[in-house]
Structure 1
Amino acid sequence: MEVTVRGLELRYGSHAAIQDLDLTIPDGESLVLLGQSGCGKTSTMRSIAGLETPTAGTIAIGDRVVFDGAAGKSVPAFRRNVGMVFQSYAVWPHKSVLENVAFPLKMKGASRQQQRTRALEVLETVGLAHLADRGASMLSGGQMQRVALARSMAMAPSVLLLDEPLSNLDARLRDDLRVELRRIQLEKGLTSLYVTHDQQEALALADRIAIMQSGRITQLGTPQSIYRTPASASIASFLGVTNVFPLEDQTHHGLLKVRGHDVALRASRTSASTPASVCLRPEDIRIEEESRTGQDSVNTFSALLEVAVFQGASLRCRLSLLPSGLSLDALVPSEAAAGLAPGSRVRVRVDPDNVLVLPDDVSQPTEQAVAA
């Protein structure tokens, strides 16, 4: 069911947690709110759920307005038909798995047979039907989170809200459950809003990602568009682009000069009328043995390989450009870095197409970001 938010504001005294926020989640879409702690993402979710009372704006779930600040209307949380999965599992340890999942159906007045049938259906979906009669206290963390998900799904919610539900799990289990969550969302066509500060989680789970900063959505688009074309340097940095450098105000012979360093770069395009920062993704930086490089070309530099960390299929490298001393991170395939050792001199290349020139910040989503 579609969720529509217009002009949403939430204030705590003089502090604005959410500022004039507009958002539409089409029926069946998985939208991820991504941002740092304190950016307003959880407050937005709680407002949709009815756990917070906004200062202004409207919220509609389907054709039903559940909050209207101007009219003084606010439908209680238990009447909004939303399912919530929290960071803490909130599973009753003294009940069985089946009893935990059937609880919201019991509250709705379903018969015992209806409760059991529906609970077993959703437990089958999350892969826990074989543990239906097991005590919840005997489950692992990942299994408890699946029970919490099944409990929310059992009530057939109009929209499923997930507040960093995987953050308490170990890395391998998080990866596995991301895939499982995405499978369930696609299979069931659930309209879902997922809150996280984990970039990889957002990329894995979203049809669209909304980047939140200071109570506003500053970029909205598909995971691919946001990753490839961040709207600002601050967004690029948050998404894991470690090579973000401020630029001089003026270009030099068509080249962009890094402020405070004797390093100039050529970019194929810019998204800032007045360039502010240059961003280079670690995976877009190429490293070669210096002896293998002949004539210099555009965006080619001598460098010292300071650190090389083996990561299986890839090598994470820390480089120092010569003679400027500008530090770069690079992520290269292990086979491409064969023979390179810390302390060796190398050549570094960056394609002008991969040089991002961005404003430091944006206050509102750009048309390009929204349309992507």
Structure 2
Amino acid sequence: MKVGVEALELTYGEHRAVKNLDLTIPDGSSVVLLGQSGCGKTSTMRCIAGLESPSGGRITIGERTVYDGASGTSIPSHKRNVGMVFQSYAVWPHMTVLDNVAFPLKMKGVGRAEARRKAIDVLEVVGLGHLGERGASMLSGGQMQRVALARSMAMEPAVLLLDEPLSNLDARLRDELRVELRRIQLDRGLTSLYVTHDQQEALALADRIAIMQGGRITQLGTPEEIYAAPASASIASFLGVTNVFEVDSLDGNRAVLADQGGQLLVDEAEAGIPGTRFACIRPEHVRVTPATGEGAATATNRMRGTVEVAVFQGASIRCTVRTGTGLAIEAICPPPVTGTLATGSEVSLEVDARAVRLLPEDVTELQQAQEVVAV
């Protein structure tokens, strides 16, 4: 079902955790709230679930208003038909896997045989059909998280809310379950809201990503839009853009940097945007090669520098290079064909002018659309 949030406010004493927030999750769509700890994303989810009492605004699930500050309407959590999956697995260790999934159905008044059938069906969906009779205490962490997901899905909720459910798992298992979660969401057409501070999870699981900062949504878009065009330098930095340099002034299509005293060639379209203060370059857009003459190129920044640190990551090397003007630039590049990219190596850097984004430091007003458009 469609979920609507209008002008949502949540305060704790004098602290405003959520500030005039608007968000729409279309039926069957997956929206991810992405942001640093303390930005208000979990508080927003808990308001939708009915686990927090908002200070104002309106929340609808389908055609039903579950909270309205103006009229005083507030439907209890257990009557909102939402399923929640938390960081902690909350699996009953003394029960079998099947009983864990069937138990909430029985508490809801579903007959024993019907509850068992639904539990078996949903365990097959999450890939645990063969473990139905196993004791829950004998499961791995990833299997327990699947049981928690199955238990929520068995209730056939109108909306599925997931609060960083993969954060307690190891890196490889997180990668596997991201794919599995996305498959389940798409196959079953689940309306879902996912909370995370992990950008890779957000990119993998979302139809739309809502970036939250300071209790507000500061950017809303598809994963491709968010990744390619962050709205501010602070968002870019959070999304892994490690090369963020303050701009002192623009000289045509050259950005004069404030502290380092160097310059960066930028695209003419970027140079024409007023009020920009920071030059942002993704590390994967920096090309590192053995030191050569700087040469001249009309559309390329070319610099020489010294490798300060290089970290081998298998398919890539992440390194920091200090240029002659004192600029520290991070790069993610393939290993060299010959030799090594060792600390102290003299290298050349190349950055296409089109890869340099000029951005304001922060988004000062809500700039996202008022409604998430279905993909």
Query: Residue in 2 aligned with 1:263?
Result: 262
Most deviating of 21-30 and 337-346: 337-346
Most deviating of 26-35 and 270-279: 270-279
Per-residue deviation, 1:64: 0.4
- Tell me whether 1:346 sits opposite 2:350 in the alignment: no
- Tell me whether 1:283 sits opposite 2:284 in the alignment: yes
Contact 1:272 1:359 in 2 (8 A): no
- Tell me whether 1:359 sits opposite 2:356 in the alignment: no
How many residues were matched structurally?
369
Per-residue deviation, 1:273: 1.8
Per-residue deviation, 1:296: 2.6
Q: Deviations over 1:306-346 (max 9, x none)?
A: 22211111111110011x21111100122468554321211
Paired residue secondary structure (1:179) = helix
Per-residue deviation, 1:266: 1.7
Question: Amino acid of the residue matched to residue 19 of structure 2?
Answer: Q
Counterparts of 2:160 and 2:138 in 1: how far apart (Å)?
A: 26
Residues 96, 306 of structure 1: alpha-carbon distance in 2 compared, 3 angstrom cutoff: same
Contact 1:288 1:337 in 2 (8 A): no
Counterparts of 2:203 and 2:24 in 1: how far apart (Å)?
A: 19
Query: What does 1:123-142 correspond to in 2, within 5 Å?
Result: 123-142=123-142
Counterparts of 1:190 and 1:53 in 2: how far apart (Å)?
A: 25
Query: Residue in 1 aligned with 2:213?
Result: 213
Query: Residue in 2 aligned with 1:230?
Result: 230
Counterparts of 2:197 and 2:37 in 1: how far apart (Å)?
A: 7
Paired residue secondary structure (1:240) = coil
Query: What does 1:264-343 correspond to in 2, within 5 Å?
Result: 264-268=263-267, 269-270=269-270, 273-291=274-292, 293=293, 295-297=295-297, 298-322=300-324, 324-335=325-336, 339-343=340-344
Segments of structure 1 that go 5 or more residues without pairing to the other structure are none
Question: Amino acid of the residue matched to residue 307 of structure 1?
Answer: V
Residues 337, 88 of structure 1: alpha-carbon distance in 2 compared, 3 angstrom cutoff: farther
Q: Which runs of 4+ in 1 moved over 4 A?
A: 335-339, 367-372
Contact 2:219 2:368 in 1 (8 A): no
Segments of structure 2 that go 5 or more residues without pairing to the other structure are none
Counterparts of 1:80 and 1:221 in 2: how far apart (Å)?
A: 27
Q: TM-score, with normalisation over the residues of structure 2?
A: 0.95
Contact 2:294 2:304 in 1 (8 A): no
Contact 1:105 1:155 in 2 (8 A): yes
Per-residue deviation, 1:60: 0.2
Per-residue deviation, 1:289: 1.6
Paired residue secondary structure (2:133) = coil
Counterparts of 1:72 and 1:338 in 2: how far apart (Å)?
A: 70
- Tell me whether 1:20 sits opposite 2:20 in the alignment: yes
Counterparts of 1:317 and 1:238 in 2: how far apart (Å)?
A: 19
Q: Deviations over 1:172-215 (max 9, x none)?
A: 11111111101100110100000000111111111110000000
Query: What does 1:77-116 correspond to in 2, within 5 Å?
Result: 77-116=77-116
- Percentage identity across paired residues of the two chains: 62
Q: Deviations over 1:114-142 (max 9, x none)?
A: 01100000000001011101111111100
Paired residue secondary structure (2:53) = coil
Counterparts of 1:89 and 1:102 in 2: how far apart (Å)?
A: 16
